[in-house]
A and B are shown apart, each in its own frame.
Chain A
């Protein structure tokens, strides 16, 4: 691959790829690291026939390879916990309440996406980055005909889990109000 070709790929797909990975991993730096590694691998390719699905597939596999290492996963959890703590510190500058709200939304979104099966999660995240059904199928090794069902299941599960978490949080907030 020529430099200008890589540059084109980079301009086109880097942002969605990093967003996809960030959503998947919950860690922007890690996401960027994986994205960069993905583009490095693209660099070694002579030609990519289906470039977007290739990039997302490679990135997904890189994540999967990483995730196999259990301790890496554990460290990641520690990282999330650390970041969560730090966010609390940071939010002192912003309106405390709004920051907490955002943190809560994010935590619920994280839990909701984590509740999905891996395949459903990846398909959904790829779709959100604009991959069409053929590309998703190719990247995940699924049949095109199954993507609609996969996405329907993923979206429903995500929304329902999120709503349940939201209702739960509101109930708890209401309970604490009641005690005052």
Chain B
């Protein structure tokens, strides 16, 4: 009688044989000592394989976060999202259980996800001129093409390795000339002095912006002003704790401008306290998303004054809907009441919105990112500042600088962000030179509640 081959034995043990063949094998094994031994060996191999493979599940993700004083001492530009040092992630909480519990609240996740989409996209669309600048180049024939040229060398010299090739082109694409030299320096120093806590002391007023902001209207122009406020504060902060590079001279004017901006423009919805709140706030369309004349206009680029008067054509609400529709676009959803959804319409609106970009340099905004959901481990909570600075490319999209603020640093993880040609915002994790993109945090959010939650917050001091 012929022995049973090893493959059949495994198939039998895996219950993959048809009943009649299984019966035949069983009968044979009872009678054949060699085959019985082979079956025993196969069982051993199956068990051993499972055991060996289970060792691969223990993949480390986050090292033990360092204490704040260690963070301050650290000058490395990269930081790692800290899992365990945030209130949202109780120490010792079982990741799986946490994931489940989050998953069981899809409506919450969906709302928060929509908030992420709305906030992230609105900020980016308003403020990032990259890529689609050409979309509206025709309508902006009078745009002083040479203006950004001054910015190119600055951006190209951004002190981040390997990034230069794309930095210059993206700066050249930039329809917005640099506001002033100090600001440009500031964005460079962002990279140099990434020690998270260093400037915290230097900017005592920064955090206080948040709570006061709750009643402020969702006015994007005010958001701009607030951003500048913070940035000006940042400049001062850098001066107080000079990094290796030459610090910008803090002029009295800039300080005054800061104060003026603070008085003139109450900060927008900064530092909301819960994601639910955020969802409401972020999705609510701004009452009149009209770009205000630049506050502290002494440094306002003249070229942008005309577009700055135009009405913003896009609201977070519209973005949310168009984003969702775009996701479903391939399935035939074309439009939803009154909103041109997906495709060219949305792109056109995005271009329209970008045209109203007036001023933003440096920090585009700060977001608290809670990566949550079944896809993820215990969740990462981190404050991430999105900067406009280009820094290389990833899958054809310009990688822009994003920095974790005020969390434990590590030597290998950094965040970047991208805006694709289609308008998708992605956070890109950079770890040890490996890139991982998190676009789904945006897309699936509206579909399944599986999401990461980004909450706009007041940028903490650096």
Q: How far is the CB of B66 from chain A (nearest CB, A)?
A: 10
CA distance A106 to B434 in the complex (A): 21
Residue in A7, A72, A152, A155 whose beta carbon sits within 8 Å of that of B434 in the complex: A72
Q: Name B10's contact: one of A27, A30, A155 (CB within 8 Å).
A: A155
Q: B7, B435, B447: which contacts A6 (Cβ < 8 A)? A: B447
| B56 contacts A79, C-beta separation under 8 Å | no
Give min CB distance, B43 to chain A, whole Å.
Answer: 10
The answer to whether A113 and B436 touch (CB under 8 A), given A82-B412, A133-B14, A155-B48, is no
Q: Interface extent on B, as a size class?
A: 35 or more
The answer, yes or no, to whether A54 is at the interface (CB within 8 Å) is no
Question: Is A22 a contact partner of B444 (Cβ separation < 8 A)?
Answer: no
| Cβ contact within 8 Å between A113 and B63 | no
Q: How far is the CB of B270 from chain A (nearest CB, A)?
A: 29
Question: Which B residues between 428 and 457 are near A, CB-CB below 8 angstroms?
Answer: 429, 431-438, 440, 443-444, 447-450
Say whether A79 contacts B412, CB under 8 Å.
yes
**Which positions 68-91 of chain A face chain B at CB distance < 8 Å?**
72, 75-76, 78-79, 81-83, 86-87, 89-90
Are the CB atoms of A109 and B437 closer together than 8 Å? no
Say yes or no: A148 contacts B11, CB within 8 Å: yes
**Nearest CB in chain B: distance from A66 CB, A:** 10
Given A30-B436, A125-B53; A82-B431 close (CB under 8 Å): yes
Contact check, B429 vs A29: say whether CB atoms are below 8 A apart.
Answer: yes
Residues of A within 8 Å of B60, CB to CB, are 83, 86-87, 90
Q: Does B106 contact A (CB under 8 A)?
A: yes
The 8 Å CB contact of B106, one of A7, A87, A113, is A7
Is A56's CB within 8 Å of the partner chain B?
Answer: no
A152 CA to B48 CA, complexed, in Å: 12
Of all chain B residues, the one with the shortest Cβ separation from A102 is B58
State the CA gap A6–B5 with chains docked (Å).
Answer: 41
Residue B16 contacts which of A43, A83, A109, A147 (CB distance < 8 angstroms)? A147
Give residues 90-129 of B contacting A (CB, 8 Å).
Answer: 103, 106
Do residues A149 and B5 form an inter-chain contact, with CB atoms below 8 A? yes
Stretch of B254-262, B297-305, B369-377 contacting A (4+ beta carbons < 8 Å): B369-377
Which of B374, B436, B449 is in CB contact (< 8 Å) with A33?
A: B436
Question: From A75, which residue of chain B is reached at the shortest CB distance?
Answer: B434
Q: For A146, what are the chain B residues with a Cβ–Cβ distance below 8 Å? A: 7
A105 to B411 CA separation, bound complex (whole angstroms): 25
A33: which B residues are within 8 A, CB to CB?
A: 436-438, 440
A10 and B58 contacting across the interface, CB-CB below 8 Å: no
B58-A110 in contact (CB<8A):
no
Q: Which of B11, B53, B434, B438 contacts A78 (CB 8 A)?
A: B434
Cβ of A10 and Cβ of B440 under 8 Å apart? no
> How distant is A106 from chain B, measured CB to nearest CB, in Å?
5
With an 8 A cutoff between CB atoms, is B45 at the interface?
A: yes
Q: A6-B447, A158-B52 are in contact. Are A148 and B7 (CB under 8 A)?
A: yes
Contact of B374 among A14, A149, A153 (CB under 8 A): A14
State which of B46, B48, B58 has its C-beta within 8 Å of the C-beta of A106: B58
Q: Are A36 and B440 in contact (CB under 8 A)?
A: yes
Q: Which residue of the partner chain A has the closest CB to B15?
A: A132
Q: What distance in Å separates the Cβ of A75 from its nearest Cβ neighbour in chain B?
A: 4
Q: Does A40 interact with chain B (Cβ within 8 Å)?
A: yes
Are B49's CB and A152's CB within 8 A? no
B195 to chain A, nearest CB (A): 20
Whether B377 and A28, one on each chain, are in contact in the complex, defined by CB atoms closer than 8 angstroms, is: yes
Contact yes or no, A75 B14, CB < 8 A: no
Question: Is B149's CB within 8 Å of the partner chain A?
Answer: no
Q: Is A151 an interface residue (CB 8 A)?
A: yes
Q: Beyond A128-B50, A149-B6, A155-B10, is A75–B433 a contact (Cβ under 8 Å)?
A: yes
Distance from B74 Cβ to chain A, minimum over Cβ atoms (Å): 14
Contact A155-B56, Cβ < 8 Å, known A36-B444, A75-B434, A86-B410 = no
Contact yes or no, A109 B11, CB < 8 A: no
Q: Please tell me which one of the listed residues A28, A75, A86, A147 contacts residue B11 in the complex, with CB atoms under 8 A apart.
A: A147
| Residue contact B57 to A19, C-beta cutoff 8 Å | yes
**Among B14, B45, B375, which residue has its beta carbon within 8 angstroms of that of A32?**
B375
Known: A75-B433, A151-B10. A159 touches B444 (CB 8 A): no
When chains A and B are docked, how far (Å) is the Cα of A15 from the Cα of B410?
Answer: 28
A36 CA to B447 CA in the complex, in Å? 12
11 contacts between A and B (CB under 8 A): A3-B447, A6-B444, A7-B106, A10-B448, A30-B436, A33-B437, A79-B433, A86-B411, A124-B53, A152-B7, A158-B53
Interface residue ranges, A against B (CB under 8 Å): 3, 6-7, 10-11, 14-15, 18-19, 22-23, 26-30, 32-33, 35-37, 39-40, 43-44, 46, 72, 75-76, 78-79, 81-83, 86-87, 89-90, 93, 102, 105-106, 108-110, 112-113, 124-125, 127-128, 132-133, 144, 146-156, 158-159, 162
Known: A155-B49, A162-B48. 17 other contacts (CB 8 A): A3-B448, A22-B59, A23-B56, A26-B56, A29-B436, A30-B434, A32-B375, A32-B376, A78-B432, A78-B434, A102-B55, A108-B55, A133-B11, A146-B7, A152-B7, A158-B53, A159-B44
